[in-house]
Amino acid sequence: MPIRTIATRYELIEEIGSGGMGTIWRGYDSTLDREIAVKAIRPDMLFSPERIADLAERFRREARVTARIQHHGVPQVYDAVLDADSADHLYLVMQYIEGRNLRSYIDPDDPLPIAWAAATGAQIATVLSHAHAIPVVHRDLKPDNVLVTDDGTVKVLDFGIAAILRRDVTKITVTGSPMGTSRYMSPEQVNAAQVTPQSDLYALGCVLHELLSGAPVFIGDGQYELWKQHLTATPEPLRELRPDVPPDLEKLVLDLLAKKPEQRPADAYAVYERLLPFLPSPGSPAVATSERLGEMPDPTLLYRQPNVPRRRTRRQPPVSAPPSVPQAPTTPPTQLRAAIDDALKRSTQLLGKERFAQAADVVEAVIDRAAKMLGSESPDLLKLRFHRALILFLGGDSRTALPEFDALAGAYARTAGPTSDRALESRRYAALCRANLGQTTVALDQFQRLLDDVAAADSHASELALDIRHSIGMLLLSAGDKTAAENVFELLYQDHLVINGPGDERTREIAEILVRIRFPTTP
């Protein structure tokens, strides 16, 4: 399927969700080579084509307002686009966030630990405090609009139906019908009355109740039954559902669920302050959880280890099946062959434009399919994996590329022989990755063992051997062993003189290195 490009730079790759205002796409910014999320606003949500101008005005306000919420808990807004090819198509270009929504971690038989629920609520309250200061009301806060990233950070999504609380925008907001989701709607939203920041606090109370008990505040047979309960029913106290909930936390949730806005906490900051006693202190150990919740990133990490460095591995490379798994047929069917060829061709084109992230993504998209159909160590699959690993390396992501090159070295050794070109190249790139990551001693050892194998299979003067010797010399120089480095580069220089001549660029480069070693510049 051809990829659609908007504003000459934003490529829509795949649809990843939909909402009340349109669809969400994962895409790429071809100029900055980064993943993006693109919110495509549907024109058919209007009652008539004549109201497209109103939609466009509401959309522009949405983009401007959302962009003003400067907090890491809200995806950044990068651009707002009115498609030149179709004037009734509007796009909001935003930061792409990886994670799972909070809904996927809610289970009535296994509710969140107290500290986890409090930490999630505190992070949401912090985001709301920044939004309400503008002021912007979310109006549709619910677990589905809360994303938990792999480090436990909470992101509040879809401020798209928010409105600036100013009189001059009331004429472009939809009135006369409730806005929001029935299970989390405040009484004033049910009545289509004035919505304020306290409306979001009511929804936060609904979310906290659900996190702590595993069940919604109210359960009705339909929308109107739920609305009636929000208007008149008394919420069941949490301690009757879960006795280990602290009394003060139960009181906070009940206060958030007060029918009248003025009876709820004063603001999101007040909610945060009341959640503080239930948050872990810096340096405290992680809370024990069930096996199911072990899949959920720990939302208390932000409080237990504030400003902790980013995890060393953000993204794992594709995991191949172990070699003992029976191999599938190694000849790709026609459709898969076309997909592989297209991925290699397109990724190479992207690589030529230095769009490394997108090039790697294009290859990764076909790797899983190829692995299932061809087997874990088929030549075509290994070619794809090597190509992706090389893209990652060239793009500067040595940490992600390293384990893949290690795995590829073993796979090629088994399938093509330990001295095959790809097995040796994989080992070389793995050593280069380690060098880039500062693992000098290990990299030197790997390069030396690789050089011994290359020399035994060919010679010390082969093209690969010359490259390896150059890398060894540079690592020795970086490690401060100038004597050893000089010996390596002197022998390498003599070989280059014979093979390539004195005018060769590599010969001249090595000569310059030797001059710097022998005659260092003094301050």
- Average pLDDT (476-496) is 93
Q: What is the pLDDT of residue 174?
A: 42
Comparison of pLDDT for 153 and 193, the residue scoring more: 153
Q: What is the pLDDT of residue 496?
A: 94
- Average pLDDT (171-177) is 39
Q: What is the pLDDT of residue 51?
A: 61
Over residues 340-378, the pLDDT tens digits come to: 999 999 999 998 988 898 899 999 989 988 998 898 889
Over residues 266-278, the pLDDT tens digits come to: 999 999 999 999 9
Separation of alpha carbons 390 and 430, rounded Å: 10
Task: Provide the annotated active-site residues.
Answer: 140
Q: What is the pLDDT of residue 191?
A: 87
- Average pLDDT (474-494) is 92
Q: What is the pLDDT of residue 388?
A: 95
Which of 31-40, 126-135, 155-164, 205-214 is predicted least confidently? 155-164
- CB-CB contact of 364 with 316 (8 Å): no
Over residues 421-440, the pLDDT tens digits come to: 999 999 999 999 999 888 99
Q: CA angle, corner 373, sides to 372 and 379, nearest 5?
A: 100
The angle, 0 to 180 degrees and rounded to 10, between the axes of the packed helices 334-352 and 379-394 is 20
pLDDT of 164 strictly over 70: no
Q: What is the CA radius of gyration of the chain?
A: 29
Report which secondary-structure segment, H or E, holds 16. strand 10-19
Separation of alpha carbons 452 and 444, rounded Å: 12
What CATH fold (topology level) applies to the domain 4-95? Phosphorylase Kinase; domain 1 (3.30.200)
pLDDT of 72 strictly over 80: yes
pLDDT of 74 strictly over 70: yes
Place of tokens 């297209």: 342
- Average pLDDT (399-410) is 94
- CB-CB contact of 40 with 25 (8 Å): yes
Over residues 105-114, the pLDDT tens digits come to: 999 999 999 9
At residue 152 the predicted structure's pLDDT band, cuts being 50, 70 and 90, is very high
* Domain ranges within the chain, ordered by starting residue: 4-95, 100-304, 313-437, 440-523
Q: Is the pTM of this model over 0.75?
A: no
Comparison of pLDDT for 212 and 321, the residue scoring more: 212
Comparison of pLDDT for 458 and 391, the residue scoring more: 391
- Average pLDDT (389-395) is 93
Q: Which of 292, 474, 347 is nearest to 466 (CA)?
A: 474
Torsion angles phi and psi, residue 403, rounded to 5: -65, -30
What CATH fold (topology level) applies to the domain 440-523? 1.25.40
Q: What is the pLDDT of residue 55?
A: 63
What CATH fold (topology level) applies to the domain 313-437? 1.25.40
Q: What is the pLDDT of residue 307?
A: 84
Q: What is the pLDDT of residue 257?
A: 97
Contacts of 53-56 with C-beta under 8 Å, sequence gap 24+, read 54/172, 55/90, 56/82, 56/90
pLDDT of 324 strictly over 50: no
Q: Is-same-fold flag (313-437; 440-523)?
A: yes
Separation of alpha carbons 125 and 201, rounded Å: 8
At residue 464 the predicted structure's pLDDT band, cuts being 50, 70 and 90, is very high
* Total length of the chain: 523
> Percentage of residues in the chain with pLDDT exceeding 90?
60
At residue 222 the predicted structure's pLDDT band, cuts being 50, 70 and 90, is confident
Comparison of pLDDT for 18 and 261, the residue scoring more: 261
Structure tokens at 505: 């660029």
Q: What is the pLDDT of residue 383?
A: 94
Residue 464: half-sphere exposure toward Cβ, Cα within 13 Å: 23
Q: Which of 148, 101, 97, 144 is nearest to 123 (CA)?
A: 148
Q: What is the pLDDT of residue 195?
A: 85
At residue 167 the predicted structure's pLDDT band, cuts being 50, 70 and 90, is very low
Which of 17-21, 425-429, 491-495 is predicted least confidently? 17-21
Q: What is the pLDDT of residue 134?
A: 84
Q: What is the pLDDT of residue 47?
A: 46
Q: What is the pLDDT of residue 455?
A: 92
**CATH 1.10.510.10 applies to domain 100-304:** yes
Q: What is the pLDDT of residue 215?
A: 94
Q: What is the pLDDT of residue 233?
A: 94
Q: How buried is residue 133: exposed, middle or buried, by Cβ count under 10 Å (0-12/13-18/19+)? A: middle
